Amino acid sequence: MSTVGAYFRLARVGWVLVREGVISALPSEDLPPLVAFAKGAAGLLARKRARREQRSDRLARAVERLGPSYVKIGQFLATRPDVVGADFADDLAGLQDRMAFFPTDAAKATVTGSLGRSIDDLYASFGEPIAAASIAQVHPAEVDTPDGRKKVAVKVIRPGVRKRFAADLEAMYLVSHLQERFLPHTRRLRPVEVTRTLEQTTKVEMDLRLEAAALSEITENTRNDPGFRVPIVDWERTGRDVVTMEWIDGIKMSDVEALKAAGHDLDHLADTLIQSFLRHTLRDGFFHADMHPGNLFVAPDGMIVAVDMGIAGRLGKKERRFLAEILYGFITRDYLRVAEVHFEAGYVPSHHNIASFAQAIRAIGEPIHGQPAETISMGKLLTLLFEVTELFDMETRPELVMLQKTMVVVEGVARMLNPRFNMWKASDPVVSQWIRDNLGPKRVVGDLKDGVRAALRLAEALPEIAAKTEKLHGEIVHMSENGLRFDSETTEAIGRSEARHSRFGRLALWVIAALLLLIAVKIG
C-alpha cells in the first residue's frame, strides 16, 4: 500500500491539519521535546482564523477541506474512542450531514445509469436535494402507484466517491502500518485491522442495495415491536447507486421543542428508544449503528422511525450472552463473574489473573451502587470498562466498540428527551426477559440443540476432511524429501516487489526532506 501517491496524499493531509490549526490544538502534556517543538512550529503555520476557533471547529473544517472520503473516515473514527480518544471522538461526531450538495443533473444521471431507466419513467417528479452526507444525498420525489401518487425519498450515491475513497484509503493503510511499526504500544489497538474494518464498512455503505437489505431485515425483525419502525423500501427503484424508500413525515428527535408542541410524551419516547435498541441488540443481534438524533424521526402517531441504515452492527449469539452477563453481573455486584466472562470470551489474555481483573472491575462497579439510578449511565459504564481492560492487554473488539458507541449515543438522545431518564429501569423489561430466556434452562436446551447441529455438520464433513488430510500428508512427505522450492515466477515477483519497495522508500525520504525544508523556509 505504501505507494508514492499514498505518501503525497499523506503529506497533503498533514499540511491541511497544520493550516487549520488541528496540530497546534493537540494536548502538549508529556510530549518529547522534539515533538513539542514540531507542534509549536505547526502553530506558526496555522491560519490566523483557525487559531481563534475551538479544536472541534478546526478539526471539522480540516476534514471537510480534505473531502467526502475523509468525512466518512472521521465519522467512522468517531465510533472508535478506543483508537482516537474520547475527546477526539466527540469532536468528530459533529461531522454529520455537513457536505455540500452535488448537482441534481448528476444525481439523475446516476439514477438512470444504475437502474437502466429514465427519470421520467421511474418518477412522477424528482426534486432538488434536501440533505447531503459524505457518501450520498437525498432528493424528494413522487411515484405513481395503484393507490395514487405517493411521495418518496431517493438516496443517490455521490459521483466519484468510490474512486476517491480507494485512493485515500491507501494513505490510511500507510499510517496504520507505520503506527504498528514505530509505536509498538499501540499494536493492541490493531490499527491495520481498524483500517480494514473501515474499508469493509464503507464498501458496504457505498452499495445502496445492502442498505436497502438492512432496512428490509430490520423491518421483519421489528414487525410486532411497539413504537419503532424503519422506512419501507421501493425495490423496483433501488440499485447499487440509488435506494428509494418511503417518505417520512415527522419531527426530528433533535427538535425537542417541536416534539413538545406536537403533544408527544417525551418520557415515553425515551423509554421506547432505549428498549428498541436493546431489543434489536440482544434479541436480533442486528442493530442500527448510527442512531444520532438527525437519523431519528417521530411520526404524528408517536412512532419512532429510524432512517439511514448505511451503518449497522451485528453481534453473534455468544457475544450477546457475554454482554448480558456482564451487565447482569454489574447489577448484582458479581464482579468475579464479570471477570470470568471476559476470560471465557477471550477478551482478556489467559495469562492474567482473574482475581486481579475482578478487583479492577470492582473499582468500576462499586462507585455506581448507591447513586440515584438516573445518574448511572450504561454507556459510561461500558466506556470505563474498556479503559480498565487496557491495563490487562484486552485487544480491540470492533463489534463491541461499535455497540458501546451506539449505546452512548442512544442513551444521550434519551437523556435529551428526559433529563432524569433512568436507563436501568427503562431497560429492565427487555434485559430481564432476555436473561430469563437465554441464561436459564432455555439456554441449556438451546446450547444442546446447537451442539447437535454442529455434530451433524461435522459428521457430514468427515469424508472431505479425511481426503484433505491425506493430501496434506502427502505434500508434507514430498516437501521433507525434496525441500521447499519456489518456481521461477514466484522468485521474480519477490525480487520485483523488493526493488519497488526500495525505490519508493528512497523517494519518500526525499519527499519528507523537501517538506521539512519548506517548513523551515516558512518559519524563517
Q: Write out the catalytic residue numbers.
A: 290
Tell me if residue 416 falls in helix, strand or coil.
helix
Instruction: Show the cell assigned to 445.
Output: 436446551
CA-to-CA distance for 165 and 69, rounded, in angstroms? 5
Over the range 70-102, which residues count as b (16 or more CB within 10 Å of their CB) and which as e? bbbbbbbbbbbbbbbeeebbebbbbbbbebeeb
Question: Grid coordinates representing 506?
Answer: 528512497
What is the rounded CA–CA span in Å between residue 36 and residue 33?
Answer: 5
Helix, strand or coil, per DSSP, at residue 21: coil
Phi-psi region of 263 (alpha: psi -120 to 50; beta: other; left: phi over 0): left
Contact predicate 195/6, CB 8 Å: no
Q: Is the dihedral of CA 28, 29, 30, 33 positive or negative?
A: positive
Residues in the chain: 524
Number of H helices, E strands in the chain: 22, 12
Closest CA to 386 of 364, 371, 411, 367: 364
Helix, strand or coil, per DSSP, at residue 156: strand
